[in-house]
Structure 1
Amino acid sequence: MAANFFRYVWRHSRREQLIVLCFVLFSLPFYWWSLDVPKRIVNEAIQGDVFAHGETTARLFDITLSLPDFLGGWSWHVTDGLMLAQVPYLFALSMVFLVLTLINGWFKYVINIRKGVLGERMLRRLRFELFALAMRFRPEDVRTTKSAEVTSMIKDEVEPIGGFFGEAFITPAFLGTQALTAMAFILVQNLWLGTLALALILVQGIVIPHLRREQIRLGRMRQIESRVLAGRIGEMMEAVPALHVFGVTGFTASEIGKRLGTLFDIRLRLYRRKFAVKYLNNLLAQLTPFVFYTLGGYLALQGRLDIGQLVAVIAAYRDLPTPIKELIDWDQQRADVTVKYEQVVGAFSKEFMMPEEPAEPPAPIPSETPITLVGLRVVNGRGMVQVDRMSAAIARPARVALVGSTGSARDVLPKVLGRQITDYQGSVTIGSHEIGTMTDAQASAVMLYVSGEPYIMSGTIRDNLCLALRRAAPPEEEPKDVWARYWRDEARMTDNPTVSPDADWIDYRGFGIEGPQALNGAIIEALRVVRGYEDIFRVGMSSRLGDELDEGVATRMLQARTAIHARFNERGMGSYVETFTPNQFNTSASIGENLLFGVSIGKRFAPENLANDPFVRSIIAAEALVGPLTGIGLKMVETVAEAFQGLAADNPLRERYSFIDEAELGDLWPQVQVAWQRGQRRQFSAELRDKLVGYALMYVEPQHRLNLIDDQLVARVLRARASFREFLPAADAGEIEFYDPGRLMPAASIRDNLLFGRVRYGKAHMRDKIVVAAAEMLGELDLEAFVVSRGLDQEAGPGGRLLSPQQRVTVQLGRAMLRRPDILILDGALSSFGAAEAHMIMSNIFEAMSGKTVIAAQSNDDDLSAFDLVMTFEGAKLTGIERRGAAEATAPEQSVETPVPAPSPQEAVK
C-alpha cells in the first residue's frame, strides 16, 4: 500500500475526484452572482438608484456577453431584458436570488453526495486491502499479533480515515474557491475593508493550526492507547475461564481500570485543548464583523461607501468565516488522518509476508516428488536452537513417524513442513518448490497440516467440515437483476471480490466427489474414518425435527416409528421403551408431560413455566390436583433437604434432583418449617404453593422413587389431560403439539419422533443398543443421511464453543479426511484421545490415506509398527533414521559435516 495518504487517494479515485472538481468550478459563477444580487436589491430596487431621474420603469435582464479588449473586444447581445416598475423590479431580483440560492444548494448537495459515496468506496477498499494484508502475515507474526488490535484497526481506526477520503481534494478546492470568490467580491466592493478582513483571516489561518499541534499529538496517544486497550480486553475475554479459575478477576479489573484512567486523562487534555482553540477561533472570527459594522458604518456615513455595498460586504463575509473555519478544520483533520493512515499502514506492513496468490492455478506437484531438507536450522525468538542443521530426504508416499520427547525437534519439524514456521535457515523443498515461500494455493494443493489445537469457526458443523473443500472459485455470472448488477459494479469499483460467498465454492472434481448430492455421503465416510460418525448421529437424533420436511422424508419417518418398535420387539428390547398412549399414564415421563401429553413449541408450556401459567393452574384446580401436587412437591423438598446434607458433590442423587436448585432450596425450606411450627402445613403462600406444584410436575416415579403416584392421582391426571386439550383456547393452540401416533411433531427431537415415548428409567445401559437398532432401521429406510444432515446443521459457536474439545478435534480430523491431501501432517492431532482410541483412528487414517504420505509426531511410547519410516530426535538434533518397508529416506551421518547450499537472498535476509 502507498505510504502517503494523498498518493493512495489519488491513485484509486482520481477520476471521481476530477468529476467532482468540475462541479466545483461550474458552481463558482452562480456563487458570485448570489453575492452580487443582494447589493442590486438594496441599491437598485429598494433605494431606487435606477429610478433616480423620475423614470417609472427600468430595464432588467439586459444581457450582453463580451470579451476583454486584449482578446479582441468581441461582444454578443443576448437579450434586451424587460422594462419593469420598481415593485416588480424588486420581486424579479428577489426571485433571481431565490433561484441562485436553490442552484447553489443543489451544487452543494451533489458535491456532498459524491464526496460521501467516494469516501465510502475508498473506505471499503482500504478495509479489504488491510484484511488481505493481514491474511498474508506469516504464522510467526500472527502468533504475536492480538486479533482484537487488528480488528480494532480495520473496523474502528480507519473509520475517520474513510470520512476524509472524499474531503482530501474536493473540500479544499470547494471551500478554497468559495472563500477566494467571497474575498475577491469584498475587495471589489471596498479595498480597505477587504484588506482588513484578509489580514484577520491570515492571522486566524496561521495561529490556529499552530495551536492544534498539541491536539494532533494527544490524538495520536489516544489512538495508540485505545488500540492497546482493545487488544488487552480481547485477550482477557479469551482467558475468562482461567481468570475465574484462579480468582484473579479483581486484579484484571484493576488493570483495565488503570488503562481506562490513562485513556480518560489523555481525552480530558485533548478536550481542554480542543475547546480552548475553538474559543480562540470563534473570537477571531467575530472580530471581522465588529470591524465591518464599525468602520463600514463610518464610511457609509461619510458617503465613501454606499449602503448596498456595505450590505453586500456583510452578506459576503457572512459566508466567508464558514469556509475559512472549515478549511482550518480540514487542515487539522488532514494532519490527524495522515498520522492515523501512516500508523495503520505501518502496522500492516511487515518485513516479510506470505506471497500473493497467483491469478492462474499453480501447476500440480507430482505425487512421487520427495521432501528434501538440507541444513535446516530453526531458532526461536529467544535465540534457542530448536532444529540444528538437519538434512534428510523423505520419499513419497510414506508413513513417517517423528519420534522424540516433548519440546524436542519432533514438535518443531511438523510446523516447518506444515508452513507454520517459515523463518528458518537452510532449505525445505518439495521438488523444486521451497516450502517457506510457496503460495497458499500451491502448498494447500499438496499438503495439509493438522494440529492438536483446532480452531472451529462460527457456523454449522457442516460449514466447518466443508471449509477445506471451498477452493474452486465459481465463475462470475451475469447479474440477474438491477440489484445484483449494482452489487457487482460496486465490488469492481473497490477491487473487492465479485463472486458471492453464497455461491458453491466446493471443488467437487478436485476432491473426487461426484457432486452436491454426494457431499453428505463423503462427509459420513470421513466421519467414520475418524470415529466421529456416532457422535454426529446422536446430535442429529437430538435435533429438532422442524416443519420444512420433504414429503417422502415425512412418510418414511412415520414408517420408521412403527418399524423401529417392531425391531425392538424382535430383539427383546420392546419393554425398554414406554410409548405415549392417549388414554394411558406414561410412568417414565413426568407428571407435567403426562398432563400436557404434547411438546411445548414456545416457552409458555415449558416444564419450568407450567406451574405459573394461569390456564394450567385453572386445569389443576378444576381436577382437584392442587393438594396432591403440593404434597408431592413438599415431599420432594423434604427429601432433598434431608438427603443433601453432607452428600458428596458427585453423588448420583444430586443429579436425580438437579431441577431443585440448592440456593433456592435454602430459601424455601425455612418457609416450610415456619408453616409447620404454626400447625398450618397446608396453608402456604401462593408463591410457595406454585413452587411446590412446579416441582411435583417434574416428578417421575421410577427416577425419584418416593412412591407418591397412586391410581387415584393417575386418574385425575388423565382427566386433566383431556380437559387441557378440550378447553385450550384456540389462540393458544399454536403453543403445543399434542402426541399423536399418526402424526409427526416438528417441535420435538428426531429421537422423540421415532421412539414416541421414553426409555424406561434404569435401562440407560441399553441406550446404545437402542440407538444402534434405530440407526439400522433408518439406514434401511434411507433416513440415515437425513438424521446426519440435521446433526451437521447444528451450530458450532464462535471458536467451536458449543462443541466439546473432543468434538472440535473430530471436526478438524474429519475435514482433513474429507480433503485427503497428498501429504497429511499430524502435529499432536490425536492427543485429545486415549491411547486405544488414538491407535484406532490412526489405523483408519492410514487405510484412508493409502498411497499417500502421512507424517505424524509420536512419543517414544507409541506403537510405531504401522510406520515405514521413523525419524528419532533428541533435543534439536536428528539422531537416527530407521527405514521400514518400501519407504526410502537418506540422512547424512551426524559426525560428518554436510555441505549446505548457499541460501537464497530472502533466506540470507532471514
Structure 2
Amino acid sequence: MSLNFFSYVWHHSRREQLIVLIFVVASLPFYWWSLDVPKRIVNEAIQGNVFKHGEAGARLFDYSLSLPDFLGGATWQITDGLLLAQVPYLFALSMVFLVLTLINGWFKYVINIRKGVLGERMLRRLRFELFELVMRFRPEDVRTTKSAEVTSMIKDEVEPIGGFFGEAFITPAFLGTQAITAMAFILAQNMWLGTLSLSLILVQGVVIPYLRREQIRLGRMRQIESRRLAGRIGEMIDAAPALHVFGVALYSAAEIGQRLGTLFHIRLQLYRRKFAVKFLNNLLSQLTPFIFYTLGGYLALKGRLDIGQLVAVIAAYRDLPGPIKELIDWDQQRADVTVKYEQVVGAFYKDTLLPPDPVREPEPIPRDAPITIVGLRVMNGRGLVQIDRMSAAIGRPGRVALVGAAGSGRDILPKVLGRQITDYQGSVTIGGHEVGAMSDREASAVMLYASGEPFIMSGSIRDNLCLALRRALPVPDEPKDADARYWREEALATNNPIVSPDADWIDYHASGLSGPADLDAAIIQALRTVRGYDDIFRVGLTSKLGDDLGEDLAERLLGARGAIYARYEQLGLASYVETFQPERFNANATIGENLLFGVSIGKRFEAEKLAHDPFVRSIIAAEALVAPLTNIGLKMVETVAEAFQGLAADNPLRERYSFIDEAELSELWPQLQGTWQRGQRRQFSPELRDKLVGYALMYVEPRHRLSLIDEHLVARVLRARGSFRDFLPAKDAGEIEFYDPERLMPAATIRDNLLFGRIRYGKMHARDKLLDAAHAVLDELGLESFVVSKGLEQDAGPGGRLLSVQQRVTVHLARALLRQPDILILDDALSSFGASEAHMIMENIFEAMAGRTVIVAQSNDDDLDAFDLVLTFEGAKLAGAERKGSPSGTQAQEGRPVAPVREPQPQEAVK
C-alpha cells in the first residue's frame, strides 16, 4: 500500500473522481447566474431601471451571439425573448432564480451522493486491504501484535479517513471553484469591496491553518493514546481469569483510570484549542459583512454603488464564507487524515510479509520428497540461540520423534517446520521449496501443525472441524437478479472477493471424499481416531431435539424409545430409570417438574421463575401447597446455612445445593433469623415466601435426602398437576409441552426424549451404563449420526470457551486428520491428556497417517519404539539421530547429515 494518502486515493478512484469533477465544472455557470439574478431583480424589476424611459414592457430572455470587431462584428439573434410588464418581469426573474436554486441544489445533491459513495467504497477497500495485510503477518509479528489495537485501527481509526476519501480531490475543486466564482463576481461589482474581502480571506486562510498545527498534534496524541487504551483493555479482558485469581482488580482499575485521565487531559487541551480557533475564525468571517454594510452603504449613499450591486455583493459574500471556511476545515482535515493514514498504514507495514496465496492450486509436492535442513540457526527476540547450525535430512514418509529437554531445540524445530517461526538463518526445504517462503496455501497443502494450545473459532463445533477443509476455490455464481448484480459490482469496485462465504468451500477431493454425503462419516471417523467421539455424542444427547424433524426420523426416534427400554430390560438396567407417568409422582424429578409434568418452551415456566409466575402461584395456593413448600424451602436453607460453614469448595454437598447461591444465602439468612427472633416464623414477606417456594420446587428427595416428601404432599402435587393442565389459559398453551409417552417433545433434550424419565440417584455408574446401552441401540437403528450431528451443531463459544481444554485439542486434531495432510507436526499436542490416553491417541494417529509423515515433539522419557527416526537435542544443538532398525543407529553431529527415513544409505551434509 502507498504511504502517500493522495497517491492511494488517486490510484484507486481517479475515474470516479474525474466524473464528479465534470459535475463540478458543469455547475459553475448556473452558480454564477444564481449570483447575478438577485442584482437584476433589485435593479431591473424592483427599481425598474429597464422601465425608466416610459417603456410599458421590457424583453427578458433575449439572447444574441456577436463576433468581435476584428472578426467583422456580425451578430446572430438566438431568441427575441419575452416582452413583459414590470410585475410579470419580477415574477419571471424570481422564477428563474428559483429554478437556478433547484439546479444548484441538484448539482450539490449529485456531487455529495457520488462523493459519499466514493468514500464508502474506498473505506471498504482500505479495511479489506488492511485485513489482508495483517493476515500476511509472519507468526513472529502476530505474537507481538495486540488484536484489540489492530481491531481498533481497522474498525475505528480508518473511519475518519474513509470520510475524507471523497473529499480529497472533489471538495477543494467544488468549494474552490465556488469561492473563486463568488470572489470574481464581487470584484466585478466593485473593485474596492472585492479587494478588501479578498484580503481578509487570505488572512483567514493563512492564520487559521497555522494555529491549527497544535490541534493536529494533539489529535495525533489522542489517536495513539486511544489505541493504547483499547489494546490494554483487550489484554485485561483476555487475562480476566488470572486477574480474578490474583485479586488485582483494584490495581487494574487504577491503571485504566490513569490512562483515561491522560486521554481526558489530551482531549481537554484539544477542545480548548479547537474552540479558540473556531472563535477567531468566526470573528474574521464577520469582519467582512461589517465592512460591506459600512463601506458599501457609504458608497451607495454617495452614488458610487447602486443598491442592486450592494445586494448582489452581500448575497455573493453570504455564500463565500461557507466555502472558504470549509476549505480551511478541509485543509485541517487533510493534514489530520494524512497523518492518521500514515500512522495506520505504517502500523501494518512490515519489512517482511508472508507471500500472498496463489489464485490457482499450487503444484503438489511429492510424498517422498525429503525435508532438508541446512545450517539452521534460530534466535529469539532477545538474541538467545534456540537452534544452532543444525543440518539434517528427514526422509518421507515416516514417523519422526524430536527428543530433548523442555526448552531445547525439540520445542523449536516443530515450530520452524510448521511455519510458526519464519525468521531464521539457513535453509529448510521440502522438495526444494523453502518452508519460510511458502504461502499459506502452498504450505498447508502438504503439512499441518498442531500444538497443545489450539485456537477454536466462535461458531459450532462442526464449523471448527470443517475449517481446515474450506480451501477449495468455488466458481462465482453468475448474478441472477438485480440485487445479486449489485453485490457483485460493489465487490469488484472495491477489490473484495466476489465469491460468497456461503458457497461450498470444502475441498472434498484433497480430503479423500467423494462429496458432501461423505463428510459426516469422515468427521465421525476423525473424532473416533482422537478419542473425542464420545464427548460429541454426549453433547448431542443433551441438545434440544428441535421441531425440524422429518416424519420418518420422528417415527424412528419414537420407536427408539421402546427399543432402548427393551435393551434395558435385557441388560437388567430398567430399574435404573424412573419413567414419566401421568398418574404417578416421579421421585427423581424436582417438585416443580412433577407439578408441570412438561418442558418449558419459552422462558415463562423456567425452573428459576416458576415460583414468581402468577398462574403457578394461584395453582399452588388453590391446592394448599404454599405452607408445605415454604417449610421445605426453609428446611433447605437451614441445612445449607449450617452445612456450608467450613465446608470445602469441592465438597459434593455444594454441588447438590448449587441452586442456592452463597451470596444470596448471606442476604437471606439474617432475614429468616430476624423473623424467628420476633416469634413470627411463619409471617414471611411475599418476596421471601416466593424465594423459599422456589427452592422447594427444585427439591429432589433422593438427591437432597432431607425426608421432606410424604404421601399427603405427593397427592397435593398430583392434584396441582391436573389443575395446572386443566386451567392453563389457551394463550399460554404454547409456553409448555406436556409429557406424552406417545409423542416426542421438541423442547426437551434428545436424552429426555429417549429415556422419557429420570435416572435414579444412588446407582453406581448407572448413567454410563444407560448411555452406553442407548448408544448401542441408536447405532443399530442408524440414529447415531443424527445425535452426533446435533452435538456438532453446539456452539463452541469465543475461543472455544464452552469446550474443555481436552475437547479443544481433540477438535483441533480431528480437523487436522480430516485434511489428511502429507506431514502432520505435533508440537506437544497431547500434553493435556494423561499418559495412557495420549499413548492411545498417538497410536490411532499413526494408524490413520499410515504411508505419510508424522513429526512429534517428545520428552526423553517417552516410548520411542514406534518411530522410524529419533532426533535428539541437547539445548540448542542437535546431539544425534538414531534411525530405528539399524544395529547402531546413525549419529548426526553438527554439520553431519541425518539419514533419511526409508533410505538405506545416509546422504552427505550440505554445508
State the TM-score, normalizing by the size of structure 2: 0.97
Aligned to 1:551: 551
Within a 5 Å distance, the mapping from 1:185-196 to structure 2 comes to 185-196=185-196
Q: In the alignment, is residue 847 of structure 1 matched against residue 847 of structure 2?
A: yes
Within a 5 Å distance, the mapping from 1:155-304 to structure 2 comes to 155-304=155-304
Q: Does the Cα contact within 8 Å between 1:448 and 1:824 map onto a contact in 2? A: yes
Report the more deviating stretch, 679-688 or 556-565: 679-688
What is the rounded CA distance, in whole Å, between the counterparts of 1:75 and 1:233 in structure 2?
A: 77
What is the rounded CA distance, in whole Å, between the counterparts of 2:544 and 2:358 in structure 1?
A: 45
RMSD: 1.8
Aligned to 1:441: 441
Aligned to 2:21: 21
Quick one: structure 1 residues 413 and 40, their matched pair in 2 at CA, closer, same or farther if it must change by over 3 Å?
A: same
Report the more deviating stretch, 650-659 or 767-776: 650-659
What is the rounded CA distance, in whole Å, between the counterparts of 1:270 and 1:888 in structure 2?
A: 76
Q: Does the Cα contact within 8 Å between 1:396 and 1:887 map onto a contact in 2? A: no
- Residues 228-264 of structure 1 show CA distances to partners (whole Å, capped at 9, x for unaligned) of 1111111111111111111111111111111111111
Q: Does the Cα contact within 8 Å between 2:585 and 2:714 map onto a contact in 1? A: yes
What is the rounded CA distance, in whole Å, between the counterparts of 1:889 and 1:421 in structure 2?
A: 30
Q: In the alignment, is residue 32 of structure 1 matched against residue 32 of structure 2?
A: yes
Quick one: structure 1 residues 892 and 587, their matched pair in 2 at CA, closer, same or farther if it must change by over 3 Å?
A: closer
What is the rounded CA distance, in whole Å, between the counterparts of 2:116 and 2:472 in structure 1?
A: 36
Aligned partner of 2:365: which letter?
A: I
Deviation at 1:657, TM superposition (A): 1.9
- Residues 173-213 of structure 1 show CA distances to partners (whole Å, capped at 9, x for unaligned) of 10011011111111111111111111111111111111111
Deviation at 1:548, TM superposition (A): 1.1
Quick one: structure 1 residues 519 and 233, their matched pair in 2 at CA, closer, same or farther if it must change by over 3 Å?
A: same
Within a 5 Å distance, the mapping from 1:118-157 to structure 2 comes to 118-157=118-157
Q: Does the Cα contact within 8 Å between 1:466 and 1:815 map onto a contact in 2? A: yes
Q: In the alignment, is residue 812 of structure 1 matched against residue 812 of structure 2?
A: yes
Report the more deviating stretch, 707-716 or 847-856: 707-716
Aligned to 1:758: 758
Aligned to 2:389: 389
Deviation at 1:64, TM superposition (A): 1.6
Q: Does the Cα contact within 8 Å between 2:880 and 2:892 map onto a contact in 1? A: no
Deviation at 1:635, TM superposition (A): 2.3
Deviation at 1:895, TM superposition (A): 7.8
Quick one: structure 1 residues 299 and 202, their matched pair in 2 at CA, closer, same or farther if it must change by over 3 Å?
A: same
Aligned partner of 1:51: which letter?
A: F
Q: Does the Cα contact within 8 Å between 2:897 and 2:909 map onto a contact in 1? A: no
Q: In the alignment, is residue 420 of structure 1 matched against residue 420 of structure 2?
A: yes
Deviation at 1:360, TM superposition (A): 2.1
What is the rounded CA distance, in whole Å, between the counterparts of 1:323 and 1:887 in structure 2?
A: 90
Aligned partner of 1:405: which letter?
A: A
What is the rounded CA distance, in whole Å, between the counterparts of 2:546 and 2:828 in structure 1?
A: 39
Deviation at 1:639, TM superposition (A): 2.4
Deviation at 1:662, TM superposition (A): 2.9
- Residues 123-148 of structure 1 show CA distances to partners (whole Å, capped at 9, x for unaligned) of 00011111111111111111111111
Deviation at 1:68, TM superposition (A): 4.8
SS in 1 for 2:558: helix
What is the rounded CA distance, in whole Å, between the counterparts of 1:591 and 1:8 in structure 2?
A: 70
What is the rounded CA distance, in whole Å, between the counterparts of 1:487 and 1:432 in structure 2?
A: 42
Aligned to 2:401: 401
Counting aligned pairs with the same residue, the percent is: 79
Deviation at 1:642, TM superposition (A): 2.9
Deviation at 1:518, TM superposition (A): 1.5
What is the rounded CA distance, in whole Å, between the counterparts of 2:188 and 2:35 in structure 1?
A: 12
Deviation at 1:81, TM superposition (A): 0.7
Q: Does the Cα contact within 8 Å between 1:392 and 1:889 map onto a contact in 2? A: no
What is the rounded CA distance, in whole Å, between the counterparts of 1:640 and 1:7 in structure 2?
A: 72
SS in 2 for 1:179: helix
Quick one: structure 1 residues 420 and 342, their matched pair in 2 at CA, closer, same or farther if it must change by over 3 Å?
A: same
Aligned to 1:47: 47
SS in 1 for 2:428: strand
Deviation at 1:764, TM superposition (A): 5.2
Quick one: structure 1 residues 845 and 730, their matched pair in 2 at CA, closer, same or farther if it must change by over 3 Å?
A: same
Quick one: structure 1 residues 455 and 568, their matched pair in 2 at CA, closer, same or farther if it must change by over 3 Å?
A: same
Unpaired stretches in structure 1, ≥5 consecutive residues: 903-910
Quick one: structure 1 residues 848 and 73, their matched pair in 2 at CA, closer, same or farther if it must change by over 3 Å?
A: farther
Deviation at 1:762, TM superposition (A): 0.8
Quick one: structure 1 residues 572 and 199, their matched pair in 2 at CA, closer, same or farther if it must change by over 3 Å?
A: same
SS in 1 for 2:519: helix
What is the rounded CA distance, in whole Å, between the counterparts of 2:677 and 2:341 in structure 1?
A: 76
What is the rounded CA distance, in whole Å, between the counterparts of 1:15 and 1:659 in structure 2?
A: 66
Q: Does the Cα contact within 8 Å between 2:392 and 2:896 map onto a contact in 1? A: no
Q: Does the Cα contact within 8 Å between 1:404 and 1:858 map onto a contact in 2? A: yes
SS in 1 for 2:406: coil
Q: Does the Cα contact within 8 Å between 1:393 and 1:890 map onto a contact in 2? A: no
SS in 2 for 1:668: helix
Within a 5 Å distance, the mapping from 1:636-647 to structure 2 comes to 636-647=636-647
What is the rounded CA distance, in whole Å, between the counterparts of 1:670 and 1:657 in structure 2?
A: 19
Quick one: structure 1 residues 854 and 594, their matched pair in 2 at CA, closer, same or farther if it must change by over 3 Å?
A: same
Aligned to 1:82: 82
What is the rounded CA distance, in whole Å, between the counterparts of 1:669 and 1:300 in structure 2?
A: 91
Deviation at 1:661, TM superposition (A): 2.4
SS in 2 for 1:857: strand
Aligned partner of 2:683: which letter?
A: Q
Aligned to 1:490: 490
Q: In the alignment, is residue 473 of structure 1 matched against residue 473 of structure 2?
A: yes
Deviation at 1:533, TM superposition (A): 0.2
SS in 2 for 1:862: coil
SS in 2 for 1:355: coil
Aligned partner of 2:468: which letter?
A: A
Quick one: structure 1 residues 667 and 204, their matched pair in 2 at CA, closer, same or farther if it must change by over 3 Å?
A: closer
- Residues 716-774 of structure 1 show CA distances to partners (whole Å, capped at 9, x for unaligned) of 11111111100000011111100001111111111001100000001251211111111
- Residues 443-493 of structure 1 show CA distances to partners (whole Å, capped at 9, x for unaligned) of 000000001111011111110110000000210110121111100000000
Aligned to 1:526: 526
Q: Does the Cα contact within 8 Å between 2:391 and 2:897 map onto a contact in 1? A: no
Aligned to 1:613: 613
How many residues align? The count is 902
Quick one: structure 1 residues 710 and 896, their matched pair in 2 at CA, closer, same or farther if it must change by over 3 Å?
A: closer
Aligned to 2:5: 5
Q: In the alignment, is residue 566 of structure 1 matched against residue 566 of structure 2?
A: yes
- Residues 318-345 of structure 1 show CA distances to partners (whole Å, capped at 9, x for unaligned) of 1111111111111111111111111111
Aligned to 1:908: none
- Residues 834-880 of structure 1 show CA distances to partners (whole Å, capped at 9, x for unaligned) of 11110000000000000000000000111111111111001000111
Aligned to 1:905: none
What is the rounded CA distance, in whole Å, between the counterparts of 1:72 and 1:573 in structure 2?
A: 119
What is the rounded CA distance, in whole Å, between the counterparts of 2:893 and 2:541 in structure 1?
A: 58
Deviation at 1:651, TM superposition (A): 2.2
Deviation at 1:98, TM superposition (A): 0.3
Aligned partner of 2:24: which letter?
A: V
Q: In the alignment, is residue 358 of structure 1 matched against residue 358 of structure 2?
A: yes
Quick one: structure 1 residues 306 and 462, their matched pair in 2 at CA, closer, same or farther if it must change by over 3 Å?
A: same
What is the rounded CA distance, in whole Å, between the counterparts of 1:645 and 1:230 in structure 2?
A: 43
SS in 2 for 1:305: coil
What is the rounded CA distance, in whole Å, between the counterparts of 1:677 and 1:230 in structure 2?
A: 54
Deviation at 1:641, TM superposition (A): 2.8
Q: Does the Cα contact within 8 Å between 1:526 and 1:818 map onto a contact in 2? A: yes
SS in 2 for 1:878: strand
What is the rounded CA distance, in whole Å, between the counterparts of 1:754 and 1:734 in structure 2?
A: 22
Unpaired stretches in structure 2, ≥5 consecutive residues: 899-907
Aligned to 1:322: 322
Quick one: structure 1 residues 186 and 792, their matched pair in 2 at CA, closer, same or farther if it must change by over 3 Å?
A: same
What is the rounded CA distance, in whole Å, between the counterparts of 2:897 and 2:564 in structure 1?
A: 71
Runs of 4 or more consecutive aligned structure 1 residues displaced over 6 Å after TM superposition: 886-891, 895-902
What is the rounded CA distance, in whole Å, between the counterparts of 1:203 and 1:888 in structure 2?
A: 91
SS in 2 for 1:412: helix
Q: Does the Cα contact within 8 Å between 2:409 and 2:875 map onto a contact in 1? A: yes
Q: Does the Cα contact within 8 Å between 2:418 and 2:449 map onto a contact in 1? A: yes
Q: Does the Cα contact within 8 Å between 1:393 and 1:891 map onto a contact in 2? A: no
What is the rounded CA distance, in whole Å, between the counterparts of 1:351 and 1:83 in structure 2?
A: 76
Aligned to 1:907: none
Q: Does the Cα contact within 8 Å between 1:409 and 1:877 map onto a contact in 2? A: yes
Q: In the alignment, is residue 99 of structure 1 matched against residue 99 of structure 2?
A: yes
Q: Does the Cα contact within 8 Å between 1:221 and 1:266 map onto a contact in 2? A: yes
What is the rounded CA distance, in whole Å, between the counterparts of 2:721 and 2:897 in structure 1?
A: 88
